[in-house]
Structure 1
Amino acid sequence: MASLREIECYINKELRLGEIPDYSAAHNGLQLSNNGEVTKVAAAVDASLPVIRKAINEGADMLVVHHGLFWQGVQCLVGAQYEKFAEAIHANLAIYSAHIPLDVHPTLGNNALLAKAIGMENAISYHDWKGIKLGLRQEMELEFEEMIQRVEMALGQDVHFCRGRKEPSVGVVGVITGGAGSEIAAMAAQGIDTFITGEGPHWSYPLAEELGVNLIYAGHYATETFGVKALSAQIAEKWGVVHTFIDHPTGI
C-alpha cells in the first residue's frame, strides 16, 4: 500500500509540472482524490467513462491518464460527466493527468519512447512551443519504407502516410506525438524531411506533398500510450504496488 500524496508529489516533481506549459484545459496533476491510499495503479490515454469503469472493474484505486477529466472545458455535472465523477468517487478511484509534461519527459515521455522504439538513439530536442522544445529530431540513413515498418512495429498497427519527399531516404526525422499534423509547415521550415505524428487536419496531407515532406500519421491514441505505461510502471516499481494498462483505443 502506498500514499497517494507521496505518489502525487513524486510525479509533480518528476514531470516538472510547475515549469512545463500546457493547454488551459489540461489541468495537469491530481484531478480527483481518493481516501489517500493506493494499492493498484491503472494507466490509460483518456479519462473517459468506459476507461474509468474498466479501471474500477480491475480493482484500481489510482488512474493515471494523458487526457484528463476537463478537456471539454467547464461542464455541468449531469449525464456522462456526472457518472464519471460519481462512479470514480464511489469506487475510491483517484485520477491523475499529465499531458505536455509527459509528452516531453526525456525518459518517460511519449516522444522519447516512440523515438527510441524506431531507432532514434541520438535525437535532439526541437520545435519551440511556449518556451519549451516540443519534439525530437535526428538525421537517419534509411529508406522511407523501412521507417514505415519500424513505426508500425512499434505501435502494432498500420499507419497512414504521405510520401512528399522525392528522395527515397527519410533524411531528417522529426517526432511529435499526438495531434501535431497542423505543424507541417513549421516542420518544413526547420528542415524536417520526414515528420511522424499522431494525426492532423485534412489539409496537412496536400500541404506535405507541396512542401516535399514525408508525413506519417501514426495515430493520436497509439502514439500516446507510451508515457502513461512507463509512468505507471515506475510508480509500481518505486512503491511496490500493482499496475495495469487500460487499452481503450479510439482508432484516431
Structure 2
Amino acid sequence: MTTLAEIVAFLDRELKISEIPDYSGAMNGLQLENGGEVSRIVAAVDASLPVVEKAIAANAQLLLVHHGMFWQGTQAVTGAFYRKLKLAMDAGLAIYSAHLPLDVHPVWGNNACLIRALGITETKPFLDWKGLPLGLQGKVDLAREDLLKLVEHAVGAPVHHCPGGPERVRSVGVVTGGAGSEVAQAAAAGVDTFVTGEGPHWSYPLAEELGLNVVFGGHYATETFGVKALAGALAERFGLDWEFADHPTGL
C-alpha cells in the first residue's frame, strides 16, 4: 500500500504540473482525493461516469486520466456529475488528471509514445502553443500507404486520412488528440505529413490546398498511450497493480 500523497508528489514533479500551461478546464493534478492510500490504479482517457464505475468495479483507489472532470468549468453538483462524485467518494476513489503535461512528456507522453510506435526515434519539438511545443516531428522515408498502416497498427483501428501531400513521406509531425485545426501551422513547420487525432471539417480541404498529408487516427485512440505508460511507471516505482479501462468514444 502506497500513500496517495507520495504518488501525487511524484506525478506533480515528473509531469511539471505547475509549470506547463493548459486550458483552464483541464485543472491538472489531483482532482479528487481519497482516504490517503493506494494499492491499485486504473488508467483511462476520460473521467466519465462509466469509467468511474469501471474503476470502482476493478477495486481501484486511484483513477489516472488524461481528460479530467472540469472541462465545462464551474457547474452545479447535480445529475450525472453528482452521481460520479458520490460514487467515487463513497468508494474511496481518488482521481488525478494530466492533460498537456502528459501529452508533452518526453518518455510517457502521448506524442512520444505514438511517434516511437511509428518507428521514429530521432525527434525534435513541433507545433508551438503559448511557448510550449505540443508535439514531435521526425524524418522518415516511407510510402504514404505504409505510414498509414503503421498508424493503424499503433492505434489499433482504421484511420481517416487526407492525401493532400506527397506519396513518399519524408517528414512527420505528431500531435495527438484534437489538433487537426492546426494544419496550417503544421504545414508552416515544414512537415509533409501531420498525424493527429481529429480535426474540424475544414481541416481536410485546407490540408489539400497546403499540400499536406493528414492522418486522423482518432482523438481517443491517439490518447490511450500516455495514461498506460504513466500507470505502468507508477506500478513499477511503487509496487502497485494497474489496469486500463477502455471506454472508446469512436471519435
Give the structure-2-normalised TM-score: 0.99
Q: Equivalences for 1:54-69 in 2 at 5 Å?
A: 54-69=54-69
Q: What is aligned with 2:181?
A: 182
Q: What is aligned with 1:77?
A: 77
Deviation at 1:17, TM superposition (A): 0.7
- The aligned amino acid for 1:58 is A
Please tell me whether residue 229 in structure 1 is matched to residue 228 in structure 2: yes
- The aligned amino acid for 1:244 is E
Q: Which moved more, 1:136-145 or 1:193-202?
A: 136-145
Please tell me whether residue 97 in structure 1 is matched to residue 97 in structure 2: yes
Q: What is aligned with 2:248?
A: 249
Q: Secondary structure at the match of 1:77?
A: coil
Deviation at 1:36, TM superposition (A): 0.2
Distance 2:193 2:131 in 1: 24
Q: Secondary structure at the match of 1:25?
A: helix
Give the structure-1-normalised TM-score: 0.99
**Structure 2 stretches lacking a partner, 5+ long:** none
Q: What is aligned with 2:11?
A: 11
Q: Secondary structure at the match of 1:43?
A: strand
Deviation at 1:126, TM superposition (A): 1.8
Q: Equivalences for 1:1-252 in 2 at 5 Å?
A: 1-165=1-165, 167-252=166-251
Q: Deviations over 1:124-164 (max 9, x none)?
A: 11221111111101121111000000000011100000000
> Which contiguous aligned blocks of 4+ residues in structure 1 show a shift greater than 6 angstroms?
none
In percent, how many aligned pairs have the same letter? 58
Distance 1:235 1:3 in 2: 12
Deviation at 1:203, TM superposition (A): 0.4
Deviation at 1:190, TM superposition (A): 1.2
Distance 1:64 1:175 in 2: 23
Distance 2:127 2:50 in 1: 35
Distance 1:10 1:68 in 2: 19
Deviation at 1:204, TM superposition (A): 0.3
Distance 2:41 2:173 in 1: 32
Distance 1:80 1:126 in 2: 38
Deviation at 1:228, TM superposition (A): 0.3
CA RMSD of aligned residues (A): 0.6
Paired residue total: 251
- The aligned amino acid for 1:55 is A
- The aligned amino acid for 2:219 is H
Q: Secondary structure at the match of 2:187?
A: helix
- The aligned amino acid for 1:205 is Y
Deviation at 1:223, TM superposition (A): 0.5
- The aligned amino acid for 2:113 is L
Distance 1:137 1:241 in 2: 34
